[in-house]
């Protein structure tokens, strides 16, 4: 339905309604299309008047839709009026309407009213994070930074995750302001990014950079850069942190992996206690390994090649520097078949240790265990993202640890090109620096997402913002 | 001028007037409507100011005028509402806001609603109630219609034939019941056992348990009606468990009279271990034929949250043989998980037992889950599959489909 361009008389609305194929929902449909087309508010008013006069009442849905239209066009006085009517008319206003009210009012000069509304919402439920977002933005826009921070902390206390927009608003509106307290808060936000392994996007990164450079007397300078593979920043020659875990974190992660991933709810689901026991003794007797290889995963790198050849290539490629290798596989690999030639398997077994799990067991869990048991230097090879194992971990803190450890210790192989005769692997090495927001006090290094090309969660950003104090 | 008169008439007939009369606002509204009618007439020659006269905020007056002016009281009242009453208010507001919410809600349902852990859980629960309410309403409407029709036909019929002779007394239902019970009783002595493993209660939510029990009730029904029923065993059945409660909800008094064996023992205690085969979709072994000497175990679990390997783990722990239905061998699988509902399993097993024909048995797999039966050699099959997929997904993903088809054929050749 195309909404009319000018307010209509009751008469005309009546005619329109009768010509509509289902007159019962006419008003709803009409209002929806008004919101979509952003019709002038007078048209909506005339429809409301028509409805009110013919029914003697306006339904709540229509009021909400009208409110949406008002918010869309920033009609503050109308928003207040609708709120007034709702307040008198209904005992309770539900969340959807509050969302609209708060959003609408926070963008106007009546923004303080949005705060009172937020208080009202708190009485009936936990406000959504967008509620907080609107209020915080409104407060910081009017330079009431204390109020904004108060709301921000309140939001964190309620386990709501702040949107990047909120954080960006803080950086945007504190530009050029002085105050140790303020600085501390904003540094805290950067550390929040660090702890949750969040990468800011490009515009947010600019806000951060500009804020740093605007601190009076701070002498901060920011540069955009790419970090070298060695982990050195080309601008300030500072060496970035590596992704090693602390001793405590490492032990913690290892225990959680055994408990949640390998045993889980039922130790029989991924393996069996006997088998795991056998594997544990096997690993204990041969420690430590340098590289642990997921045999089946690696053997599928090049689809045209025999599986065992792929594995052979991979092992050869890794066996160079006297490294101790462990290959995990399943028992069916030992049976002579078109893909698994016994002679080649024999030859590989000379170069690396092998452990063959039952055909119905999951070898990934063993991979994690063996690598963690070998110590911090040990790396593992698989193309698998190990997401399902990460998902088994019970708390988000351990999941972050797992991701960090994975970034630093996983080597992924990819076949070099589509031409099959090339037998070179491209080795995607584990990064030797950790890709998170980091600081040394007088420098900050912040990885950021370059808008489009880095939307994948498993790919870490390659672009960095280097900020240093002169 | 004639047109102006017409307009005036129309306006007089329009709903504004009765409304105004009702609310005693004649004084305010009448002059207004008159100016409106005039201004509309003037529209033809002078179109710059007509809408100005339209009172756009009239609806506000209406909304405010209808209110009893006791705002202060309602607010204070609101604070004293108990959580349940507050929840009821919330639900009511959601309904007004056009969300999917049931019209009537009981205290118990409200309690469940309040106890939901998150907002989305609350929404889902209410939607579930709403849909159920719709179904019930529809059923009721249909029943009523049916009753009316039956009454009508009865009236006609009673006039038509008085004496219709037949050598049988019409006692179909109870006769059939007796015959079925007879067969079931026989199966309890001579029949092949079929075990339902009832040890999954802690792996399921209350809804899932209810669904599982419903499926088991269906399976029991179709087993009873079959020519050669299984002897059904419910093993690991705990008294007063959620399962038990749900069964009583369905069967009421009949629960005590069911011709099945219910025990809290494990199947390994009841039967020799080497005869047992645990049916699970995760099993690496594929069932080739139906063995009349074995005892098949079906896990009574509905897993909506896809807990892979739960039943396989159970079989592994007890060291039992496992098997999966040969779905991939006979069916060109399309979508959906390979785990079937319990009543589908029962139908399949009964058919297998009677005929040994996989095709007939696998007719009971839901049609949406597969494209067709496998009848051609593998390489031809590959072609059809990629064709089906290109048709379905468009050429854009052709590459992906090729890959898939290749893997699929590989899987087939391996088995």
The pLDDT tens digits for A345-400 are 888 888 888 999 888 888 888 899 999 988 888 888 888 888 888 888 888 888 88
pLDDT at B43 over 70: no
Radius of gyration of chain B (CA): 33
Q: Give the HSE-up count for residue A243: Cα atoms under 13 Å, Cβ half-sphere.
A: 26
Compare all CA atoms of chain A with the CA of B63 and give the residue at the minimum distance: A57
Q: Where are the strands (E) in A260-393, listed by range?
A: 291-294, 325-330, 353-357, 379-381
Neighbours of A212 (CB within 10 A): 24
State whether residue B90 sits within 8 Å of chain A by CB: yes
Residue A269, min C-alpha distance to chain B (Å): 5
> CA-to-CA distance for A136 and A147, rounded, in angstroms?
8
Share of chain A above pLDDT 90, in %: 28
Structural domain span for residue A255: 247-263+271-409
Q: ipTM score of the complex? A: 0.80
| Distance in angstroms between the alpha carbons of the first and the last residue of chain A | 63
Judging contacts by C-beta atoms under 8 Å, the chain B residues touching residue A12 are: none
Work out the pLDDT band at B19, boundaries 50, 70, 90. Answer: very low
pLDDT at B42 over 90: no
State whether residue A119 sits within 8 Å of chain B by CB: no
pLDDT at B133 over 90: yes
Give the A window 261-300 contacts with B, CB below 8 Å.
266, 268-270, 272
Residue A230 within any structural domain of the chain: no
> CA-to-CA distance for B388 and B341, rounded, in angstroms?
27
Compare all CA atoms of chain A with the CA of B78 and give the residue at the minimum distance: A91
Question: CATH code at A256?
Answer: 3.40.50.11980
A49:B66 CB<8 A? no
Compare all CA atoms of chain A with the CA of B37 and give the residue at the minimum distance: A9
State whether residue A158 sits within 8 Å of chain B by CB: no
B96:A59 CB<8 A? yes
Residue A396 within any structural domain of the chain: yes
Residue A150 within any structural domain of the chain: no
Query: Closest partner residue to B313 among A11, A59, A268, by Cβ?
Result: A268
Look at residue A70 in the predicted model and tell me its pLDDT. Answer: 92
Mapping DSSP to helix (H, G, I), strand (E, B) and coil, where does residue A200 land?
A: coil
State whether residue B96 sits within 8 Å of chain A by CB: yes
B16:A10 CB<8 A? yes
Mapping DSSP to helix (H, G, I), strand (E, B) and coil, where does residue A250 land?
A: helix
Look at residue B126 in the predicted model and tell me its pLDDT. Answer: 93
> CA-to-CA distance for B11 and B5, rounded, in angstroms?
10
Cβ atoms of A136 and A148 within 8 Å: the answer is yes
B97:A64 CB<8 A? yes
Phi, psi dihedrals of residue A287, rounded to the nearest 5°: -60, 160
A91:B89 CB<8 A? yes
pLDDT at B52 over 80: no
pLDDT at B147 over 60: yes
Compare all CA atoms of chain B with the CA of A264 and give the residue at the minimum distance: B310
Compare all CA atoms of chain B with the CA of A124 and give the residue at the minimum distance: B86
B51:A124 CB<8 A? no
Q: Where are the strands (E) in A359-409, listed by range?
A: 379-381
Output the average pLDDT for chain B: 79
Residue A445 within any structural domain of the chain: no
Judging contacts by C-beta atoms under 8 Å, the chain B residues touching residue A266 are: 310, 313-314, 317
Work out the pLDDT band at B38, boundaries 50, 70, 90. Answer: very low
> CA-to-CA distance for B52 and B50, rounded, in angstroms?
5
Query: How many distinct structural domains can be found in chain A?
Result: 1
Residue A333 within any structural domain of the chain: yes
Residue A400 within any structural domain of the chain: yes
Compare all CA atoms of chain A with the CA of B203 and give the residue at the minimum distance: A265
Judging contacts by C-beta atoms under 8 Å, the chain A residues touching residue B63 are: 52, 57-58, 85, 89
Q: Select the more confidently predicted residue: A445 or B69.
A: A445
A60:B56 CB<8 A? no
Mutate to test the interface with B, among A5, A6, A10 (most CBs of B within 10 A): A10
**In chain B, what are the domain boundaries?**
191-372, 376-407
State whether residue A388 sits within 8 Å of chain B by CB: no
Instruction: Name the DSSP class of A425.
Output: E
Interval B260-266 mean pLDDT = 92
State whether residue B60 sits within 8 Å of chain A by CB: yes
Tokens representing B407? 């893997």
State whether residue A445 sits within 8 Å of chain B by CB: no
Residue A259 within any structural domain of the chain: yes
Residue A291 within any structural domain of the chain: yes
Interval B149-164 mean pLDDT = 75
pLDDT at B31 over 50: no
Q: In terms of DSSP bridges, do strands A443-448 and A463-469 run parallel, antiparallel, or are they unpaired?
A: antiparallel
Model confidence pLDDT, tens digit, residues A153-183: 999 999 899 999 999 999 999 988 888 888 9
Mapping DSSP to helix (H, G, I), strand (E, B) and coil, where does residue A285 land?
A: helix
Look at residue A423 in the predicted model and tell me its pLDDT. Answer: 36
Compare all CA atoms of chain B with the CA of A49 and give the residue at the minimum distance: B59
Query: Closest partner residue to B15 among A53, A60, A360, by Cβ?
Result: A53
Q: Select the more confidently predicted residue: B23 or A419.
A: B23
B15:A54 CB<8 A? yes
State whether residue A62 sits within 8 Å of chain B by CB: no
Share of chain B above pLDDT 70, in %: 70
Mapping DSSP to helix (H, G, I), strand (E, B) and coil, where does residue A356 land?
A: strand
Model confidence pLDDT, tens digit, residues B88-112: 888 888 888 888 999 889 988 999 8
Residue B90, min C-alpha distance to chain A (Å): 7
B58:A52 CB<8 A? yes
Look at residue A21 in the predicted model and tell me its pLDDT. Answer: 83
Residue B249, min C-alpha distance to chain A (Å): 31
Residue B304, min C-alpha distance to chain A (Å): 17
Cβ atoms of B324 and B283 within 8 Å: the answer is yes
Phi, psi dihedrals of residue B363, rounded to the nearest 5°: -60, -25
B14:A14 CB<8 A? yes
State whether residue B15 sits within 8 Å of chain A by CB: yes
What would the CATH number be for the domain defined by B191-372?
3.40.1280.30
B90:A124 CB<8 A? yes
Look at residue B276 in the predicted model and tell me its pLDDT. Answer: 94
Q: Select the more confidently predicted residue: B399 or A125.
A: A125
State whether residue B25 sits within 8 Å of chain A by CB: no
Instruction: Name the DSSP class of A239.
Output: B
Query: Closest partner residue to A94 among B22, B51, B94, by Cβ?
Result: B94
Compare all CA atoms of chain B with the CA of A43 and give the residue at the minimum distance: B56
Mutate to test the interface with A, among B8, B62, B80, B123 (most CBs of A within 10 A): B62
Work out the pLDDT band at B399, boundaries 50, 70, 90. Answer: low
State whether residue B40 sits within 8 Å of chain A by CB: yes
CA distances from A56 to B21, B61, B94, B319 (A): 12, 10, 22, 73
Instruction: Name the DSSP class of A139.
Output: H
Model confidence pLDDT, tens digit, residues B161-188: 555 666 666 777 888 888 899 999 999 9
């Amino acid at each position: 339905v195309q909404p009319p361009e000018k307010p209509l008389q009751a008469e005309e609305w009546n005619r329109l309604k009768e010509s509509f194929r289902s007159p019962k929902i006419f008003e709803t449909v009409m209002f929806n299309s008004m919101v979509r087309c952003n019709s002038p508010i007078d048209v909506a008013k005339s429809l409301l008047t028509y409805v009110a006069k013919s029914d003697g009442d306006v339904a709540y849905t229509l009021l909400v839709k009208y409110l949406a239209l008002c918010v869309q066009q920033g009609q503050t006085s109308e928003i207040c009026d609708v709120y007034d009517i709702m307040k008198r008319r209904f005992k309770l206003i539900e969340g959807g309407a509050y969302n609209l009210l708060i959003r609408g009012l926070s963008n106007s000069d009546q923004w303080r009213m949005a705060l009172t509304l937020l208080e009202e919402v708190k009485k009936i439920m936990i406000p959504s994070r967008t509620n907080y977002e609107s209020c915080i933005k409104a407060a910081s826009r009017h330079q009431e930074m204390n109020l904004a921070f108060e709301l921000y902390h309140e939001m964190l206390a309620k386990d709501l995750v702040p949107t990047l927009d909120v954080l960006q608003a803080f950086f945007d509106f504190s530009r050029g302001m002085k105050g140790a307290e303020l600085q501390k808060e904003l540094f805290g936000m950067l550390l929040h990014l660090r702890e949750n392994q969040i990468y800011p996007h490009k515009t947010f990164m600019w806000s951060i950079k500009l804020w740093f450079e605007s601190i009076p007397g701070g002498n901060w300078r920011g540069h955009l850069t790419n970090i070298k593979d060695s982990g050195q920043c080309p601008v300030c020659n500072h060496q970035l942190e590596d992704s090693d875990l602390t001793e405590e974190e490492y032990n913690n992660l290892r225990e959680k992996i055994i408990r949640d991933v390998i045993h889980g709810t039922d130790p029989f689901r991924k393996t069996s206690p006997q088998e795991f026991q056998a594997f544990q003794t096997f690993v204990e007797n041969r420690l430590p390994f340098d590289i642990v290889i997921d045999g089946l995963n690696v053997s599928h790198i090049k689809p045209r090649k025999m599986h065992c050849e792929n594995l052979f290539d991979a092992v050869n490629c890794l066996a160079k520097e006297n490294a101790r290798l462990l290959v995990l596989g399943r028992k069916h690999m030992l049976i002579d078949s078109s893909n698994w030639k016994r002679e080649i398997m024999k030859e590989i077994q000379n170069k690396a240790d092998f452990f063959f799990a039952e055909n119905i067991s999951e070898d990934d869990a063993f991979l994690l265990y063996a690598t963690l048991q070998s110590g911090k230097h040990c790396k593992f090879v698989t193309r698998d993202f190990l997401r399902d194992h990460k998902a088994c971990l019970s708390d988000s803190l351990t999941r972050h640890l797992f991701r960090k450890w994975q970034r630093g210790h996983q080597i992924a192989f990819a076949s070099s090109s589509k031409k099959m005769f090339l037998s070179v692997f491209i080795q995607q090495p584990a990064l030797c620096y950790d890709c998170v927001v980091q600081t040394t006090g007088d420098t900050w290094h912040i990885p950021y997402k370059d808008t489009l090309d880095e939307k994948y969660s498993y790919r870490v950003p390659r672009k960095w913002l280097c900020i240093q104090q002169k | 001028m004639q047109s102006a008169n017409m307009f005036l008439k129309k306006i007089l007939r329009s709903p504004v007037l009765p409304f105004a009369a009702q609310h005693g606002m004649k004084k305010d509204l009448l002059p207004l409507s008159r100016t409106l009618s005039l201004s509309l007439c003037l529209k033809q020659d002078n179109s710059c100011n007509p809408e100005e006269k339209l009172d756009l905020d009239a609806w506000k007056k209406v909304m405010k005028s209808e209110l009893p002016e006791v705002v202060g009281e309602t607010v204070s009242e609101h604070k004293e509402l108990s959580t349940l009453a507050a929840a009821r208010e919330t639900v009511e507001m959601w309904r007004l806001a056009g969300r999917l919410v049931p019209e009537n809600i009981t205290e118990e349902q409200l309690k469940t609603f309040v106890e939901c852990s998150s907002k989305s859980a609350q929404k889902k629960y209410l939607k579930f109630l709403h849909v159920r309410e719709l179904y019930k309403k529809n059923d009721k409407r249909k029943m009523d219609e049916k009753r009316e029709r039956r009454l009508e036909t009865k009236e006609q019929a009673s006039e038509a034939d008085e004496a219709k002779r037949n050598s049988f007394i019409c006692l179909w239902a109870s006769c059939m019941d007796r015959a079925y019970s007879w067969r079931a009783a026989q199966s309890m002595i001579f029949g092949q056992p079929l075990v339902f493993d009832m040890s999954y209660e802690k792996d399921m939510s209350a809804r899932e348990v209810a669904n599982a029990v419903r499926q088991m009730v269906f399976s029991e029904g179709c087993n009873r009606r079959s020519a050669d029923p299984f002897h059904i065993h419910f093993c690991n059945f705990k008294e007063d468990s959620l399962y038990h409660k749900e069964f009583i909800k369905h069967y009421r008094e009949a629960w005590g009279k069911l011709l099945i064996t219910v025990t809290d023992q494990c199947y390994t205690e009841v039967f020799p271990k080497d005869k047992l085969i645990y049916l699970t979709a995760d099993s690496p072994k594929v069932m080739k034929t139906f063995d009349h000497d074995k005892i098949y175990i079906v896990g009574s679990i509905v897993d909506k949250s896809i807990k892979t390997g739960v039943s396989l783990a159970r079989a592994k722990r007890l060291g039992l043989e496992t098997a999966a239905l040969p779905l991939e061998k006979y069916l060109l699988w399309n979508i959906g998980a390979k785990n079937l509902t319990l009543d589908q399993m029962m139908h399949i097993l009964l058919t297998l037992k009677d005929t040994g024909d996989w095709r007939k048995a696998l007719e009971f797999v839901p049609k949406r889950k597969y494209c067709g039966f496998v009848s051609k050699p593998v390489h031809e099959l590959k072609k059809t599959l990629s064709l089906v997929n290109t048709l379905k997904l468009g050429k854009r993903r052709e590459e992906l489909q090729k890959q898939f088809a290749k893997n699929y054929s590989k899987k087939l050749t391996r088995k």
